[in-house]
Structure 1
Amino acid sequence: MDNILLNVSAVVVALVVSYFVFWYRNHKNEIDSKRAKGDALAFVVDTLGQVATNIVYDLKDSSEKGAEKKKQAKIKIKNFYADANLPVPSDAQLSGAIENAVTLMKLSEGEKHE
């Protein structure tokens, strides 16, 4: 039973990551054209994944657990965009970017241990 749950959860995670990549590729031209026109919000959406990944790796070894780390990551991302005088993404966008960054970090750590 545990193997089935593990396999199903691995498939679900792979589908979520695949959908994110699919969505990003389909919207990359649109994002790039908006950025070229000076649209700061498009730039924020484009860089959100990179910023979230950096912050997730920074918080990886902190003593906090799960929800507290996510809360700290949101605060750090909001501070980053506020310091850069850029629009701050919505909480839903922040949550999605943080969850994707954590998933990618865990997947990359799994590959290193094998």
Structure 2
Amino acid sequence: MENIIIDVSAVVAALALSYFVFWYRNHKIEIDSKRAKGDALAFVVDTLGQVATNVVYDLKDSSEKGAEKKEQAKVKIKNFYADAHLPAPTDAQVSGAIEKAVAIMKMSSEGEKNE
């Protein structure tokens, strides 16, 4: 009787394992594409500060003022990610990165004046 229970348990475990392997092979492409999208989004978030800093310094001497300059920076950042075929960050993320880059630029220019 004990052998039958062990044999039935082994068969059930083998069936469960084979079903998992079957399911994973059928969904592997979908899983890999979601993982790639997640990796791309993490890369976008990691590089947003650097991109915003470069754009802010590029627009530093332009003739636009305040909101116009910020809107132009948003467009440039969104275009950068579109050209790179990466997911675009949200408007809130872009605005925050621009404001942080402007604050850093102002602090560094004040530091240069004080020296």
Aligned length: 80
Q: What per-residue deviation string (whole Å, max 9, x for no partner) do you get for residues 24-53 of structure 1?
A: xxxxxxxxxxx9x97100000000000000
Q: Secondary structure at the match of 2:64?
A: coil
Cα shift at 1:112: 0.2
Structure 2 segments unaligned to the other structure (5+ residues): 1-34
Give distance in 1, aligned partners of 2:71 and 2:54: 15
The within-5 A match list for 1:13-52 is 39-52=39-52
Query: What are the residue-to-residue correspondences of 1:46-85 with 2, within 5 Å?
Result: 46-85=46-85
| Runs of 4+ that moved beyond 2 A | none
Aligned to 1:96: 96
SS at match of 1:96: helix
In structure 1, C-alpha distance between the alignment counterparts of 2:102 and 2:69, rounded to whole Å: 11
Query: Take 1:72 and 1:78, find their aligned partners in 2: how far apart are those partners?
Result: 10
SS in 1 for 2:110: helix
Counterpart amino acid of residue 66 in structure 1: G
Deviation at 1:108, TM superposition (A): 0.3
**Which residue identity is paired with 1:77?**
I
Instruction: List per-residue Cα deviations over 1:71-106 (Å, max 9, x = no partner).
Output: 000000000000000000000000000000000000
RMSD, matched Cα: 1.9
1:61 counterpart letter in structure 2: D
Identical-residue share of aligned pairs (%)? 78
The equivalent of 2:109 in structure 1 is: 109
